[in-house]
Structure 1
Amino acid sequence: MRRVELTIIGVVVAAGLAAGCATAPKSRSQIEVATPACEDFAVQIYFDRDSAVLTQEARSVLANAGALAKGCKVASVHVVGLADAVGSPDVNLALSEQRAAAVTKALAKVGFRHVEFDVAAAGDAGALNGAGEARPLRRRADVRFDFDGPLR
């Protein structure tokens, strides 16, 4: 009796597996590929104090942005370099320009070569809060990606 039960279970399992395989695509052309979302998004790239050198984390964020944009028509990329209020305004403006340039150069390496870049530098403008304290999180570049839908 035990052998009959196992045989019946085996036949039922085999039939279920065969039925599941029957709906699988027969060729690569039958596999549907989801189109990319191509929705605008923004990232922030943080820098060490007094530095315009991209960290490994910043490079990873930019590489992920490149992956998200794959298959999308990029309308433009806006990059704004920022600095905190520590130091002279001239030095901070130059530093924010260097940060924007470093991000733009890295974006070209991850696939944004033929893209219109809108690059700006704000220096330390707006880097003090209402109490007159410097905002260290201003040691960054803000990047906004604008898309015109999927590539055709």
Structure 2
Amino acid sequence: MAAVLAVGGCATLQKSRDRIVQSPPRCEDQTAQIYFEADSADVSSEGRAVLMQAASNASGCAVRAVSVLGLADAAGDPNANFELSRRRAQSVTAALAAARLPPAEFRVAAAGQAGATNPDGKAAVLRRRADVILHLATPK
């Protein structure tokens, strides 16, 4: 019985300590991919949820930069696909700002359909997206 009480007392002390002592946030770079419907640059509710979670995970960290690369698949006109990928990158950037991401330098780029086909000529899968990298650091 005494051993059970001793172990139970340790657990209570650990819980009390956890309420007082908080671990510093893990400030490692984060990557997210936001997918789009065909011919759309609108960030879906699922995409907004992913960006909100990324912004939340970055709280407590220094955000050194944010890289956003808009992509498109190989279907259609290359110029239209480049413009679509540019709009996707801009939409994701605006959604990140709305998610209250800490201020940061944004590096926004568009690739259009470049790289949308494999060397054997087949379409690369899941190209209707924007790739996001949050470059994080431990605050000083």
Q: Is the 8 A contact 2:71 2:88 kept in 1?
A: yes
Give the structure-2-normalised TM-score: 0.86
Identity fraction in percent: 45
Helix, strand or coil at the partner of 2:111: strand
Residues in 2 aligned to 1:123 and 1:18: alpha-carbon distance in whole angstroms: 60
Unaligned 5+ segments in structure 2 are none
Shift of the 109–25 alpha-carbon distance from structure 1 to 2, 3 Å rule, reads same
Separation (CA, whole Å) in 2 of partners of 1:101 and 1:44: 14
**Residue aligning to 1:132:** 121
**What is the CA RMSD across the aligned residues, in angstroms?**
2.3
In the TM superposition, residue 110 of structure 1 has moved relative to its aligned partner by 1.1
CA distance in 2, matches of 1:107, 1:99: 12
Q: Which residue of 2 aligns with 1:81?
A: 70
Distance 2:89 2:135 in 1: 17
Distance 2:8 2:117 in 1: 68
Q: Indicate how the Cα distance of structure 1 residues 21 and 121 shifts in structure 2: closer, same or farther if over 3 A, else same.
A: closer
CA spacing shift, 1:98–1:20, aligned 2, 3 Å? same
Normalising by structure 1, we get a TM-score of 0.80
CA distance in 1 between counterparts of 2:97 and 2:90 reads 11
Name which one, 1 or 2, has greater alpha-carbon Rg.
1
Which residue in the other structure is 1:108 paired with?
A: 97
Distance 1:21 1:81 in 2: 49
Gaps of 5+ in 1: 1-8
* Number of equivalenced pairs: 138
Q: CA 1:16–1:80 in 2, change beyond 3 Å: closer, same or farther?
A: same
